[in-house]
Amino acid sequence: MSEKQSGAPLRVVAALSGGVDSAVAAARAVAAGHEVTGVHLALSRSAETQRTGARGCCTLEDSRDARRVADVLGIPYYIWDLSEQFQEQVIDDFLQEYAAGRTPNPCVRCNETIKFAAVLERAVALGFDALVTGHYARISQAPDGTACISRAVDPAKDQSYVLGVLTPDQVARSIFPLGDSTKSQVRKEAEQRGLLVADKPDSHDVCFIPDGDTAGFLRGHLGEQPGAVLDTEGRTVGTHDGAFAFTVGQRRGLALSEPAADGRPRFVLSIEPVSSTVVVGPHEMLSVDAIELTNGPTWRIGEDLRVRVQWRAHGEAVPAQVVLTHEGRVDEVLLDESAHGVAAGQELVAYDGERGERVIFSARIAGSRRRSR
């Protein structure tokens, strides 16, 4: 928490998803003396009644679990319908990105446009001071004194990557009570507090595709767009119903009609949505050491150009060098070592170079390449 957040009690909105993390986060906010109001976000226009184990979220079952948590904590509880914004800002963006041959991260988009934009904006308009969520992350200070995201204590649950897109103002109005805890500690605390969600499975996969069939979801919304799967020599080695069902680096589900001459597995190297063409080849052809960015920030004067970068939520942050335009904007990062499976549309998050704990910036990947040496 920031200095302000750790001082006098605040009026806060606690986002209650219906899961154990948000429940304990809200409980800790209450215990800290804040005036807490629980809010569940209705993001689906046709929410399912029940979850299927750990698949999906924002169901009617989740909203009921959130209400029970609020009752146990003795806090007011409301449901905010943001389904229209979620459809436009997250689901439509997801479809448009895949249709363009890119691989989006809907969790990043949701945090950017819904949870820490629409929700926080509404909360502030209603007179609240901050938003409490169950994310595993910590808040620290950048060298210029602004609030920024840092990694959680539990590396297995760290969510700094999906929060890296937040602005300093949004971070300053956020509270992440779980940043210093492990998942096992959170579940134990939930049980001790009498919260019935203590053993509830974590949700995973894309929340609006609860059955996990991303290709089927895309096909249902974008329609079949048959095309060819080519090898690096331009030979047809398979067919498909839509290039949108593939992502760079993919190995499984290619359904190739002709095996490689050397018998080795092949991976998706590139996707061309206009011609609906997918190119496959050996793993080594995925190797890149330069990542181009499409919306990089202006670099702070005096900031070290050495960083660690991460482009998957649970990937490893690797050493890199920032490349700036003449105007001082981040244009590209050069990796110290080669990487594989970097896809356009993914989010790249840069951390401070020495320890890789503090988020410096987040930008969308425009492409990647292999530098000539």
Please tell me the distance from the alpha carbon of residue 111 to that of residue 104, in angstroms, as a whole number: 13
Question: What pLDDT score does 304 carry?
Answer: 82
Q: Is 148 a catalytic residue?
A: no
154 with 136: CB under 8 angstroms?
A: yes
Determine the Cα angle at 198 with ends 192 and 202, to 5°: 150
C-beta atoms surrounding 343 within 10 Å: 23
Catalytic one among 57, 58, 107, 110? Answer: 110
Q: Tell me which of 57, 58, 107, 207 is the catalytic residue.
A: 207
3-state secondary structure (DSSP) of residue 287: coil
Alpha-carbon span 74 to 24, nearest angstrom: 14
Alpha-helical runs (H) found in 166-206: 168-172, 183-192
Write the DSSP symbol of residue 200: P
User: What one-character-per-residue DSSP string does 130-175 give?
Assistant: EEE---S-EEEE-TTS-EEEE--S-TTT--HHHHTT--HHHHHTEE
pLDDT, one tens digit per residue, over 71-98 is 999 999 999 999 999 999 999 999 999 9
Q: What's the whole-number mean pLDDT along residues 343-347?
A: 94
Residue 44, pLDDT score: 81
pLDDT in tens, 144-193: 899 999 999 999 999 999 999 999 999 999 999 999 999 999 999 999 99
For range 21-31, the mean pLDDT: 98
Determine what percent of the chain is predicted with pLDDT higher than 70.
94
Q: Is 107 a catalytic residue?
A: no
Q: What is the DSSP letter of 100?
A: T
Q: What pLDDT is recorded for position 4?
A: 45
